[in-house]
Amino acid sequence: MNKQVTIVAVDGPSASGKSTVSRRTAQAVGFIYVDSGALYRGITWKCVKEGVDVKDAQAVTNLLIRMNMELFLRDNAVGYMIDGEDPGQEIRAEPVRERVADIAAQQAVRVYIVEKLRMMTKFGSLVMEGRDIGTVVFPDTPFKYYLDADPEERARRRAAEIHQQEGTHDVNAVLSSLRRRDQKDSSRATAPLQIALGAKIINSTGMTIDQVVDTIVTDLKKAGAVPA
């Protein structure tokens, strides 16, 4: 890790607001935004595209060996290409959404992605969101946050996102999907979702996005990580 950069780790379950909060925090303090989940979705997308069974660990490992993920900086965020192709919004579609937890549970995938995430310090100081940023990827950063919200609130948020993207809006179905994802994320053998030692827990159920961002930015300013 580049010792000259600052890492802000924002962990938490699906639809807890990590993406919006992390992106806005990065903008507020002039850091680079990283959506670590997008990389896991990218590998899932590649599996779906090539017909690889996401539950077949050996087949997925073989895919990782032969594919090339190239990192780049775009609009103050880290993006990537897989074998020269940008998957774009396809990583947000249902075929990927319903399979990504199986991909994220595999040790070979997590080792591959963690290496890619740590390489991103070459771009500068980062606000990185995910599920194991403060526990596994950058456990030594002093700036760790665990963002959470009530399941029903998270389901409403995710359903609204899906409605905007796909025109569907079934909160109960989304809630069931989130609960399945939570169970898989929390019980997997490799890097399960958990609160990092020393992380500040923020329950955003009754908070606006701006309030959550202000909480993190204020902490960074008090610590001298960014100008007051």
Tokens, residue 54: 């996401």
Tokens, residue 226: 């960014």
pLDDT digits (tens, 9 = 90+) for 139-188: 999 999 999 988 888 888 878 877 777 766 678 888 888 888 778 878 87
Architecture of the structural domain at 7-211: 3-Layer(aba) Sandwich (3.40)
Under a CB-based contact definition with an 8 Å cutoff, are residues 200 and 223 in contact?
Answer: no
pLDDT digits (tens, 9 = 90+) for 93-140: 989 998 998 999 999 999 999 999 999 999 999 999 999 999 999 999
> Over 70: is that where the pLDDT of 1 sits?
no
Under a CB-based contact definition with an 8 Å cutoff, are residues 8 and 126 in contact?
Answer: yes
Domains of the chain, by residue range, sit at 7-211
Under a CB-based contact definition with an 8 Å cutoff, are residues 44 and 91 in contact?
Answer: yes
pLDDT digits (tens, 9 = 90+) for 61-95: 999 999 999 999 999 999 999 999 999 999 999 89
